[in-house]
Amino acid sequence: MLTTQEQLKYSRQIMMGKIGEQGQIALRNAKVLIVGVGGLGNPVSLYLAAAGVGTLYLADGDNIELSNLPRQIQFDEQDINQNKADVAAEKLSTQFPDSNIEAIDEMLDQELCDYYVPQVDLVLDCSDNIQTRYLINQACVTHTVPLVIGAATGFDGQQLLVDPRNKDSACYHCLFPTSLKAPTNNCQTLGILGPVLAIIGGMQALQAIKVLTADGSENNVQINKLNLYDGLANQWQQFNMKKQQNCNVCGNK
Ligand SMILES: [Zn+2]
Protein backbone atom coordinates (compact mmCIF):
# COMPACT_ATOMS: atom_id res chain seq x y z
CA MET A 1 0.00 0.00 0.00
CA LEU A 2 1.11 3.53 -0.72
CA THR A 3 0.72 6.20 1.95
CA THR A 4 -1.58 9.15 1.29
CA GLN A 5 1.50 11.32 0.89
CA GLU A 6 2.96 8.93 -1.71
CA GLN A 7 -0.33 8.78 -3.60
CA LEU A 8 -0.32 12.56 -3.82
CA LYS A 9 3.36 12.92 -4.65
CA TYR A 10 3.37 10.31 -7.42
CA SER A 11 -0.20 10.88 -8.62
CA ARG A 12 0.81 11.83 -12.17
CA GLN A 13 2.69 8.56 -12.56
CA ILE A 14 0.06 6.43 -10.83
CA MET A 15 -2.70 7.73 -13.09
CA MET A 16 -0.91 6.21 -16.07
CA GLY A 17 -2.46 2.84 -16.71
CA LYS A 18 0.84 1.14 -17.38
CA ILE A 19 2.25 2.30 -14.01
CA GLY A 20 -0.66 2.38 -11.56
CA GLU A 21 -0.37 1.93 -7.82
CA GLN A 22 1.26 -1.48 -8.26
CA GLY A 23 3.93 0.03 -10.47
CA GLN A 24 4.63 2.77 -7.95
CA ILE A 25 4.95 0.19 -5.18
CA ALA A 26 7.33 -1.78 -7.40
CA LEU A 27 9.47 1.36 -7.83
CA ARG A 28 9.48 1.96 -4.08
CA ASN A 29 10.58 -1.64 -3.44
CA ALA A 30 13.18 -1.65 -6.22
CA LYS A 31 16.93 -1.78 -5.69
CA VAL A 32 18.98 -0.41 -8.54
CA LEU A 33 22.72 -0.26 -9.17
CA ILE A 34 24.03 2.64 -11.26
CA VAL A 35 27.60 2.10 -12.48
CA GLY A 36 29.23 5.44 -13.26
CA VAL A 37 28.00 8.71 -11.81
CA GLY A 38 29.22 11.03 -14.57
CA GLY A 39 27.40 12.48 -17.56
CA LEU A 40 24.88 9.62 -17.82
CA GLY A 41 24.75 8.62 -14.16
CA ASN A 42 23.84 12.17 -13.15
CA PRO A 43 20.52 12.38 -15.05
CA VAL A 44 19.77 8.67 -14.57
CA SER A 45 20.11 8.84 -10.77
CA LEU A 46 18.14 12.09 -10.58
CA TYR A 47 15.23 10.75 -12.61
CA LEU A 48 15.09 7.40 -10.83
CA ALA A 49 15.22 8.93 -7.35
CA ALA A 50 12.60 11.50 -8.40
CA ALA A 51 10.34 8.76 -9.76
CA GLY A 52 10.38 7.07 -6.36
CA VAL A 53 12.90 4.22 -6.74
CA GLY A 54 13.45 3.11 -3.16
CA THR A 55 17.12 2.11 -3.15
CA LEU A 56 19.93 3.34 -5.39
CA TYR A 57 23.53 2.19 -5.22
CA LEU A 58 25.84 4.66 -6.98
CA ALA A 59 29.27 3.34 -7.99
CA ASP A 60 32.13 5.53 -9.21
CA GLY A 61 35.82 5.66 -8.32
CA ASP A 62 36.51 9.03 -9.97
CA ASN A 63 36.77 12.45 -8.43
CA ILE A 64 34.98 15.50 -9.85
CA GLU A 65 37.06 17.70 -12.18
CA LEU A 66 36.45 21.19 -13.52
CA SER A 67 35.96 19.86 -17.08
CA ASN A 68 33.09 17.62 -15.84
CA LEU A 69 30.86 20.53 -14.85
CA PRO A 70 29.35 21.46 -18.26
CA ARG A 71 27.55 18.11 -18.37
CA GLN A 72 27.62 16.50 -14.91
CA ILE A 73 24.87 18.72 -13.66
CA GLN A 74 24.64 17.51 -10.08
CA PHE A 75 28.11 18.91 -9.35
CA ASP A 76 29.46 22.41 -8.82
CA GLU A 77 32.86 23.98 -8.24
CA GLN A 78 32.73 23.32 -4.49
CA ASP A 79 32.67 19.59 -5.27
CA ILE A 80 35.93 19.44 -7.27
CA ASN A 81 38.35 16.71 -6.13
CA GLN A 82 35.63 14.90 -4.19
CA ASN A 83 34.38 11.45 -5.17
CA LYS A 84 31.47 11.51 -7.64
CA ALA A 85 29.45 8.74 -5.96
CA ASP A 86 29.82 10.32 -2.51
CA VAL A 87 28.77 13.80 -3.67
CA ALA A 88 25.85 12.56 -5.78
CA ALA A 89 24.58 10.30 -2.98
CA GLU A 90 24.69 13.15 -0.48
CA LYS A 91 22.89 15.60 -2.77
CA LEU A 92 20.24 13.08 -3.87
CA SER A 93 19.60 12.05 -0.25
CA THR A 94 18.84 15.68 0.60
CA GLN A 95 16.60 16.18 -2.43
CA PHE A 96 14.83 12.80 -2.17
CA PRO A 97 14.75 11.80 1.52
CA ASP A 98 12.34 8.92 0.86
CA SER A 99 14.97 7.06 -1.18
CA ASN A 100 17.84 5.14 0.32
CA ILE A 101 20.93 6.24 -1.63
CA GLU A 102 24.26 4.54 -1.02
CA ALA A 103 27.65 5.43 -2.49
CA ILE A 104 30.24 2.90 -3.62
CA ASP A 105 33.27 5.15 -3.98
CA GLU A 106 35.49 2.87 -6.03
CA MET A 107 35.73 1.42 -9.53
CA LEU A 108 33.49 -1.60 -9.85
CA ASP A 109 35.60 -4.75 -10.07
CA GLN A 110 34.66 -8.42 -10.25
CA GLU A 111 34.34 -8.74 -6.49
CA LEU A 112 32.08 -5.70 -6.12
CA CYS A 113 29.98 -6.87 -9.10
CA ASP A 114 29.47 -10.28 -7.54
CA TYR A 115 28.51 -8.64 -4.25
CA TYR A 116 26.07 -6.00 -5.52
CA VAL A 117 24.55 -7.35 -8.76
CA PRO A 118 22.71 -10.31 -7.11
CA GLN A 119 21.18 -7.89 -4.58
CA VAL A 120 19.52 -5.59 -7.11
CA ASP A 121 16.54 -5.73 -9.48
CA LEU A 122 18.26 -3.80 -12.27
CA VAL A 123 21.67 -2.44 -13.25
CA LEU A 124 22.33 0.68 -15.33
CA ASP A 125 25.64 0.87 -17.14
CA CYS A 126 26.56 4.55 -17.20
CA SER A 127 30.28 3.88 -17.33
CA ASP A 128 32.66 5.30 -19.91
CA ASN A 129 34.88 2.34 -20.67
CA ILE A 130 34.53 -0.94 -22.46
CA GLN A 131 36.20 -3.09 -19.79
CA THR A 132 33.63 -2.08 -17.19
CA ARG A 133 30.81 -2.64 -19.70
CA TYR A 134 31.98 -6.21 -20.38
CA LEU A 135 32.36 -6.85 -16.65
CA ILE A 136 28.83 -5.63 -15.84
CA ASN A 137 27.34 -7.50 -18.80
CA GLN A 138 28.94 -10.75 -17.63
CA ALA A 139 27.78 -10.22 -14.03
CA CYS A 140 24.21 -9.45 -15.09
CA VAL A 141 24.03 -12.57 -17.28
CA THR A 142 25.56 -14.71 -14.50
CA HIS A 143 23.12 -13.41 -11.87
CA THR A 144 20.11 -13.04 -14.25
CA VAL A 145 19.65 -9.33 -13.61
CA PRO A 146 18.39 -6.94 -16.33
CA LEU A 147 20.87 -4.36 -17.58
CA VAL A 148 20.24 -1.02 -19.31
CA ILE A 149 23.34 0.10 -21.20
CA GLY A 150 23.94 3.68 -22.30
CA ALA A 151 26.88 5.39 -23.95
CA ALA A 152 27.50 8.71 -25.67
CA THR A 153 30.31 10.60 -27.40
CA GLY A 154 30.27 13.74 -29.47
CA PHE A 155 26.74 14.19 -30.84
CA ASP A 156 26.00 10.45 -30.79
CA GLY A 157 24.59 7.99 -28.30
CA GLN A 158 23.46 4.39 -27.97
CA GLN A 159 21.14 2.55 -25.64
CA LEU A 160 20.10 -1.06 -25.27
CA LEU A 161 18.46 -3.40 -22.79
CA VAL A 162 19.93 -6.79 -21.93
CA ASP A 163 17.42 -8.92 -20.05
CA PRO A 164 18.89 -12.31 -19.07
CA ARG A 165 15.55 -13.26 -17.45
CA ASN A 166 14.43 -13.80 -21.05
CA LYS A 167 16.33 -16.69 -22.63
CA ASP A 168 16.10 -15.04 -26.07
CA SER A 169 17.79 -11.82 -24.98
CA ALA A 170 21.08 -10.94 -26.65
CA CYS A 171 23.79 -9.52 -24.41
CA TYR A 172 26.43 -6.85 -25.04
CA HIS A 173 28.98 -9.54 -25.81
CA CYS A 174 26.69 -10.91 -28.57
CA LEU A 175 26.83 -7.46 -30.18
CA PHE A 176 30.56 -6.91 -29.68
CA PRO A 177 32.26 -10.30 -29.15
CA THR A 178 35.67 -8.64 -28.95
CA SER A 179 36.68 -5.27 -27.64
CA LEU A 180 38.39 -4.64 -31.01
CA LYS A 181 34.96 -4.22 -32.61
CA ALA A 182 33.40 -2.28 -29.76
CA PRO A 183 33.40 1.52 -29.88
CA THR A 184 36.49 2.73 -28.07
CA ASN A 185 36.20 6.45 -28.61
CA ASN A 186 35.45 8.36 -25.47
CA CYS A 187 34.64 11.87 -24.33
CA GLN A 188 38.33 12.67 -23.90
CA THR A 189 39.05 12.04 -27.57
CA LEU A 190 35.79 13.11 -29.23
CA GLY A 191 34.24 15.57 -26.82
CA ILE A 192 30.64 15.49 -25.64
CA LEU A 193 27.68 17.79 -25.19
CA GLY A 194 25.56 17.71 -22.04
CA PRO A 195 22.16 17.52 -23.76
CA VAL A 196 23.20 14.36 -25.64
CA LEU A 197 23.85 12.73 -22.27
CA ALA A 198 20.50 14.01 -21.01
CA ILE A 199 18.76 12.32 -23.96
CA ILE A 200 20.55 8.98 -23.58
CA GLY A 201 20.38 9.08 -19.77
CA GLY A 202 16.70 9.98 -19.96
CA MET A 203 16.07 7.03 -22.23
CA GLN A 204 17.96 4.74 -19.84
CA ALA A 205 15.86 5.98 -16.91
CA LEU A 206 12.68 5.43 -18.95
CA GLN A 207 13.73 1.88 -19.84
CA ALA A 208 14.56 1.23 -16.19
CA ILE A 209 11.13 2.42 -15.03
CA LYS A 210 9.42 0.26 -17.67
CA VAL A 211 11.41 -2.81 -16.61
CA LEU A 212 10.78 -2.22 -12.90
CA THR A 213 7.04 -1.61 -13.31
CA ALA A 214 6.36 -4.29 -15.95
CA ASP A 215 3.52 -6.51 -14.77
CA GLY A 216 4.05 -9.14 -17.44
CA SER A 217 0.68 -8.61 -19.13
CA GLU A 218 2.09 -6.51 -21.95
CA ASN A 219 5.46 -6.35 -23.54
CA ASN A 220 6.62 -2.77 -23.07
CA VAL A 221 10.14 -3.93 -22.47
CA GLN A 222 12.05 -4.32 -25.70
CA ILE A 223 14.99 -6.70 -25.84
CA ASN A 224 17.24 -7.21 -28.84
CA LYS A 225 16.96 -3.60 -29.99
CA LEU A 226 20.01 -1.39 -30.34
CA ASN A 227 18.92 2.25 -30.31
CA LEU A 228 21.31 4.74 -31.88
CA TYR A 229 20.88 8.49 -31.61
CA ASP A 230 22.41 11.00 -33.98
CA GLY A 231 22.20 14.39 -32.32
CA LEU A 232 23.38 16.30 -35.39
CA ALA A 233 20.70 14.84 -37.67
CA ASN A 234 18.25 14.72 -34.74
CA GLN A 235 17.41 11.11 -35.56
CA TRP A 236 16.97 7.81 -33.78
CA GLN A 237 17.65 4.53 -35.52
CA GLN A 238 16.74 1.12 -34.15
CA PHE A 239 18.58 -2.05 -35.15
CA ASN A 240 17.51 -5.61 -34.41
CA MET A 241 20.00 -7.70 -32.47
CA LYS A 242 20.05 -11.45 -32.15
CA LYS A 243 21.27 -13.65 -29.36
CA GLN A 244 24.38 -15.50 -30.55
CA GLN A 245 24.13 -19.13 -29.54
CA ASN A 246 27.92 -19.38 -29.45
CA CYS A 247 28.31 -16.22 -27.32
CA ASN A 248 30.95 -16.81 -24.63
CA VAL A 249 28.82 -14.95 -22.08
CA CYS A 250 25.16 -15.81 -22.68
CA GLY A 251 25.24 -18.57 -25.30
CA ASN A 252 23.53 -21.94 -24.69
CA LYS A 253 22.13 -20.92 -21.34
ZN1 LIG B 1 25.68 -12.87 -25.45
Sequence ranges of the domains in the chain: 4-240
Catalytic residue list contains 126: no
* Interval between CA 71 and ligand 1 midpoint (Å): 32
Q: Which of 126, 187, 247, 250 is catalytic?
A: 187
| Structure-model confidence comparison of residues 134 and 185, the more confident one | 134
The whole-number average pLDDT for the span 141-169 is 96
Alpha carbons within 13 angstroms on the beta-carbon side of residue 110 total 2
* Interval between CA 75 and ligand 1 midpoint (Å): 36
**Is a pLDDT exceeding 60 seen at residue 20?**
yes
pLDDT tens-digit map of 36-87: 999 999 999 999 999 999 999 999 999 999 999 999 999 999 999 999 999 9
Residue 190: the pLDDT is 78
- 115, amino acid identity: Y
Residues with CB under 5 A from ligand 1 (ion): 171, 173-174, 247, 249-250
CATH for 4-240 is: 3.40.50.720
User: Mean pLDDT for the chain?
Assistant: 94
* Interval between CA 15 and ligand 1 midpoint (Å): 37
* Interval between CA 244 and ligand 1 midpoint (Å): 6
Q: CA-CA distance, 111 to 49, in Å (whole number)?
A: 26
pTM of the full predicted structure? 0.95
pLDDT tens-digit map of 205-242: 999 999 999 976 656 788 999 999 999 999 999 999 99
Burial of 118-157, coded b for 16+ CB within 10 Å and e otherwise, reads eebbbbbbbbbebebbbbbbbbbbbbebbbbbbbbbbbbb
> What is the band of 142 on the pLDDT scale with cuts at 50, 70, 90?
very high
Q: CA-CA distance, 60 to 83, in Å (whole number)?
A: 8
* Interval between CA 47 and ligand 1 midpoint (Å): 29
* Interval between CA 228 and ligand 1 midpoint (Å): 19
Do 165 and 146 contact (CB within 8 A), yes or no? yes
